[in-house]
Amino acid sequence: MEKKSRPNEPLVTHIYTADPSAHVFEGKLYIYPSHDLEHDGPDNDNGDQYQMEDYHVFSMDDVDAPCIDHGEVLHMKNVPWVSKQMWAPDAAYKNGTYYLYFPARDKEGIFRIGVATSKNPAGPFTPEPNYIPGSFSIDPAVFVDDDGRSYMYFGGLWGGQLEKWKTGEFNPEGKEPAVNEPALGPRVAELSDDMLTFKEAPQEVQILDENGNPITAGDEDRRYFEGPWMHKYNGLYYLSYSTGTTHYLVYAVGTNPKGPFTYKGRILEPVIGWTTHHSIVQFKDKWYLFYHDSSLSGGVNHKRCIKYTELKYNPDGTIQTIKPYDN
């Protein structure tokens, strides 16, 4: 008998999963995570421990229903431009087609973002022969707005190479800004109508403090590090992301999908393990946070498990901070 799903408990236990992107398709919850492989290789700030090479898709008929594994839907051996490390993906639906967006290193070791398509939300997905022109770094998150326009948010520091793209060209010696300088923001680009290319060159997203000043690189409790996500609530755009080194999930709010966004607070306190990567989705009449930790492996950074919990808003639109291990 399949086990029912419960809040703050691993949704998947037969393989290691991370970076869950959750969506409601065809009346069900579909989850698109990355797939951590078991190995004893190096663990470092460059992310060499994350040796993922394929994707599985999972679905749930309801939040307390079993989480079903639909199997492998895409493998790096079927993507001509990929050399290794298929990291955190996302999915979108438009034009009667499901799109799977994924980062991976190209043959030169530079992270790019690819796209694959399917007529079924559970896949399998057929990849485009090359990565999206003009794409770079990691953690694609695609948001389809109410007017049908679609945007991709992406970018991650360190292993994700975002700091190497400050000039718009890849510089292998690129560094983060000084601590008193504005922090690097994620990138955003509107997608073409066919969802396969960018309509424009990616631009940096501004994240501001309560006084309208850019969050600085030294403000590690609030500055952007990786894992962007966009959702809309009561007509406002909520950009949420990971702070990386301080292990928070936080959010900023704006009136335009391209920003600027004003920092508002924390969504999730630190979890077991180094990375924090999430998605936020409305299902039926409630909102949910999907996230991961390393509890299934006892804290091994590259052996993670996906989880979910209910997300609650205050009357003023702020999000109530979640402490993941409180009963």
Average pLDDT score over residue span 58-84:
97
Grade residue 301 by pLDDT with cuts at 50, 70 and 90: confident
Phi, psi of 8 (to 5 degrees): 60, 20
Check residue 44 and give its pLDDT: 59
Core vs surface per residue 104-138: b (16+ CB within 10 A) or e = bbbeeebbbbbbbbbeebbbbbebbeebbeebbbb
Q: For the segment 8-28, what is each residue's pLDDT rounded down to a tens digit?
A: 999 999 999 999 999 999 999
- Per-domain residue ranges for the chain? 16-311
Q: Is the pLDDT of residue 310 over 90?
A: yes
List the catalytic residues.
Answer: 19, 226
Q: For the segment 220-235, what is each residue's pLDDT rounded down to a tens digit?
A: 999 999 999 999 999 9
Here the tokens at position 252 are 């900023």
pLDDT-wise least confident of 49-63, 64-78, 207-221, 270-284:
49-63
Check residue 37 and give its pLDDT: 81
Check residue 4 and give its pLDDT: 87
Q: Is the pLDDT of residue 48 over 80?
A: no
Check residue 326 and give its pLDDT: 84
Q: Is the pLDDT of residue 1 over 60?
A: no
Q: Is the pLDDT of residue 41 over 80?
A: no
Q: For the segment 124-154, what is each residue's pLDDT rounded down to a tens digit?
A: 999 999 999 999 999 999 999 999 999 999 9
Residue with tokens 């922090």: 183
Q: Is the pLDDT of residue 285 over 90?
A: yes
pTM of the model: 0.96
Second CATH level (architecture) for the domain 16-311: 5 Propeller (2.115)
Here the tokens at position 267 are 């969504």
Q: Are 116 and 125 in contact (CB under 8 A)?
A: yes
Check residue 38 and give its pLDDT: 72
**Average pLDDT value for the chain:** 95
Average pLDDT score over residue span 74-91:
97
Residue 126, strand partner residues = 117
Q: For the segment 227-271, what is each residue's pLDDT rounded down to a tens digit?
A: 999 999 999 999 999 999 999 999 999 999 999 999 999 999 999
Average pLDDT score over residue span 321-325:
96
